Amino acid sequence: MQAANPYLTFDGKTEEAFRFYRSVFGGEFEAFIRMKDMGGGPPGATPPELERIAHVALPIGKDDMLMGSDTVPSMGHTLTTGNNFHIALAPESGEEADRLFAGLSAGGAVQMPLQQTMWAEKYGSFVDRFGVQWMISYAGNVQFEPPKE
């Protein structure tokens, strides 16, 4: 396993929250991507939603990263305290991604099946049988270059 990091979700407050976190931890954003930067944004997203944050990553230690994104209400996303964080795993191989996804999601509820995305060879998310939210993301050979702020 390469890393396990916290991933926070906000309802339009990600930019404000992460600018605050950066003021405390210091450093520079490794990624700062708006919804509109992701292939034009989610289908049906409103103009204000396109300005929301699709992904932000802030180093908070030698090997640790605090990451986050905003919800997209027009896609049916709602934020409730308790569903606003995930544990994001970065496996070292596609096989490890498959094993972790299958094992941890057993008896849980898959939110997004493990599949290729514009940022990863294999990405998926689920809630395990204990109510913990997980993301599995294996970049592999995908060379996604997010715009830097």
The token duo for 91 is 């496996």
Q: Within a domain: residue 145?
A: no
Tell whether 50 is covered by a domain: yes
User: What CATH number did the domain enclosing 87 receive?
Assistant: 3.10.180.10
A 10 A CB-CB count for 59 gives: 16
Which range marks the domain in which residue 61 is found?
Answer: 3-138
Report pLDDT digits (tens) over 38-77: 888 888 899 999 999 999 999 987 888 999 999 999 888 8
Residue 149 lies in a domain: no
Nearest of 78, 96, 70 to residue 1 by alpha carbon: 96
Domains contained in the chain, number: 1
**How do residues 3-34 score in pLDDT, each as one tens digit?**
888 989 989 999 999 999 999 889 999 999 99
Contact between 68 and 9 (Cβ < 8 Å) = yes
